[in-house]
Structure 1
Amino acid sequence: MAGTLHSIVIHEAGDLRIDEVPEPVPAPDEAVIDIVYGGICGSDLHYWQHGAAGESILKAPMVLGHEVVGIVRRAAPDGTGPAEGTRVAVHPATPAREYVRHPADRPNLSGGGYLGSAARFPHRDGAFAHRVTMPTRMLRALPAGIDLQEAALIEPASVAWHAVTRIGDVTDLSALVVGCGPIGLLTIAVLKARGARHITAIDLHDRPLQIAAELGADTVLKQPDDADIAAIDADVVVESSGSHRGLDTAIRGATRGGVIAMVGLLPAGPQPVQIALAIARELDLLGSFRFNDEIDDVIRALADRKLHIAPVISHVTPWRQAATAFEIAADPTVSSKVLLKFGPERGRK
């Protein structure tokens, strides 16, 4: 139908549709982007499965997707941003309209919006579509050496990079990653790139642990017992399972005086974990939420071949098979990061 495009829309829990949407019309500071790949995130799965992601509750149909890369189809009318034909990654955050007190150097805590998020109402539509408009401040031009499919991991890799940055310098330290979903796997890759001496990975399933080893994990443990966990004695820990059991494992696997970055989003409400042990060991428990400018660090590390993340991609599925792709992405025994493919990797001729 002329003047319309297709997009992946969540209407309510369990109701994922391919809907027609109007052709986007750019504002003066917006470029038109032909989306090529979009990665299915855990939050996309939560909206599909539960109609909510944490405390962000779906109240109206919303286009999903914030892990996207594409090609500039039309540059912004005001002359800012990348030129037509430029391959770009997207930083999905939008600054908050009203001020919420937060550290000036941590705008991720400002309460701003995010592509494909129901945290605010009206919701902020995402970018699982053939073509979208994006403010040029969101766009990052990609160096020629970065594969566009691998570039679809830049956004979640930035989340992992931010978590490690929250910890600090990890050079020559022992590290533990609890939960080897896509964020956990990308965290292993980031720890490796940033000089961790020994990395232990824990998960419930074999496949994620196989990928963890390929990314640089020195030790992989499937459902370890209490003695195995205590023996890890890691200097730094990243909890990425998003479960109270995972956080409890992180606390028990950390050395005295160790640091834990909590990047997995636990459900709202009280969580049964051994906080007394964290106190007695003087552990530093650090929250880690989204990212700031770490996306630029990730792009540089990919361009320099210092960051190895391609094995995290397990499936690439045509957009018309979105329902199947979501089913696959929800099963950690068969998948890690599942990408939707929306268009060709080359722009218009």
Structure 2
Amino acid sequence: MLAIRKTKAGPGGLSVDDVAAPKEAHSTDVLVKVEAAGICGTDLLIYKWGEFAKRMKLPTILGHEVSGVIEQVGSDVKGLRPGMRVSLESHLPCGTCYTCRRGWAHVCPKTRYPGVDFDGGFASFVVVPESVCWPVPCGIPPLQAAMMEPFGLAVHASLEGSGVSGLNVLVSGCGPIGLMNIAAAKALGASKVIATDIHPLRLTAAAKMGADECINATEESVYKTVRSLLGERGVDVAIDYSGQAAALKELIQSITHGGELRLMGVPSHDILLNLEEWLFKGLIVRGLHGRRLYETWERSTSLLVTGRVDLSSLVSHRLPLSAAEDAFEMALNGQSLKILFEPNGTCI
């Protein structure tokens, strides 16, 4: 089978290789025939060989945003059977540490990831533990099922803390997950959702996903525009996907006193912050990661299967595995929204 692998340390180092397909699932594992698999920001970090990637043992098949059909289940698997469509959770927590026992398994310090610590889903078939397989209702098509993992981040960011219902929300950074967050926040009852980015393509998509106002941060001040829209009140919640110091400064100015800043974007380097305004405003700052296991999956599934959120317009490219190099370059250069690989041919 073809597979996209990271084969060399350092920037680049991708290879599309013909490798042996897994033949069976052992014990508590599941063999999945991949229908669709999306490029994620983590894949781009690996491509650029960011710090997180250096834990990898190469070569490794990339990909963790995956939907597919179960081909075979291990002898000890309960509740799953061949023929079921599944979407994959990308976090495999240890389940036994202090963090996991407190109900915070989504931030387990011993978490392992498909496509990082073991072979992932940029291939025709993938073997994964039963615990990361989420059964997908028939009302969710394969392409949207492949986006359930990142959509879960957006739902998680919308539900944490005071939530979004009845509140004014600012989403900074309209990559795929930021765009999903716009739709999730609207579906979960946000009063007004304001989106900001520097790419016109993404801002156009933000409007389609339901943003009430879209701000190009290269052309106008986010803070001044928010003030003109909402007055001195500002936004109740700001969710940052950019990881940029300049964006964070504007967000802090735009949040109401006692409001919430939710951090999802990962900065590429250390940044300097003046915390005085954070303190005097009494801001609640939340660092968010992953999805709550599996509460967020339940909420995400409900939003998709009922049609309250439709992610289909986010798919800008559907490509074979052989187009890996071009796909990664497009994603890095902001020439795409969501890129999905279809390893076994076009999904219906």
1:227 aligns to 2:224 (yes or no): yes
Deviations 1:311-343 (A, max 9, x none): 2211111111111111111122x2111111111
Aligned match of 1:267:
268
Task: Note the C-alpha offset of 1:249.
Answer: 2.2
CA distance 1:230–1:277, shift in 2 (3 Å): farther
- How far apart are 1:76 and its partner, in Å? 3.0
- One-letter amino acid matched to 1:129: A
Distance, in Å, in 2 between the alignment partners of 1:132 and 1:282 is 47
Q: Residues 194-250 of structure 1: CA distance to partner in whole angstroms, max 9, x if unpaired?
A: 000100000001110111111110000001325235545111110011222222222
SS of the aligned residue for 2:323 comes to helix
Aligned to 1:120: none
Match of 1:304 in 2: 306
Report runs of 4+ in structure 1 exceeding 3 Å deviation. 53-59, 100-103, 229-232, 344-347
Q: Which amino acid aligns with 2:68?
A: G
Q: Structure 1's 59 and 83: CA in aligned 2 closer, same or farther, altered over 3 A? A: closer
Measured in 1, the distance between the counterparts of 2:13 and 2:314 equals: 27
Gaps of 5+ in 1: 118-122
Structure 2 residue 336 is matched with structure 1 residue 330: no
**Post-superposition CA distance 1:177-210 (Å, at most 9, x none):** 0010111111111101100010000000111011
Deviations 1:63-82 (A, max 9, x none): 11110000111233335232
Percent sequence identity over aligned pairs: 28
TM-score by length of 1: 0.90
Match of 1:147 in 2: 141
Question: SS of the residue aligned with 1:176?
Answer: strand
Relative to its length, the structure with more strand (as a share) is 1
Give the 3-state SS of the residue equivalent to 2:19 in structure 1: strand
How many residue pairs are counted as aligned between the two chains? Answer: 335
Map residues 1-349 of structure 1 onto 2, 5 A cutoff.
Answer: 5-11=1-7, 12=9, 13-24=11-22, 25-49=24-48, 51-52=49-50, 54=52, 56-58=54-56, 60-96=58-94, 99=97, 101=99, 104-111=102-109, 112-117=111-116, 123-223=117-217, 224-225=220-221, 226-231=223-228, 233-269=234-270, 271-292=271-292, 293=294, 294-332=296-334, 334-344=335-345
Equivalent AA in structure 1 for residue 126 of structure 2: V
Contact 2:2 2:321 in 1 (8 A): no
Alpha-carbon distance in 2 for matches of 1:316, 1:209:
21
CA distance in 1 between counterparts of 2:134 and 2:4 reads: 23
Residues 173 and 196 of structure 2 are in contact (CA less than 8 Å); yes or no, is this contact kept in structure 1? yes
Deviations 1:247-292 (A, max 9, x none): 22221221111101101112353x2233211111111110001112
Aligned-residue Cα RMSD (Å) equals 2.1
Alpha carbons of 1:260 and 1:64: their partners in 2 closer, same or farther (altered >3 Å)? Answer: same
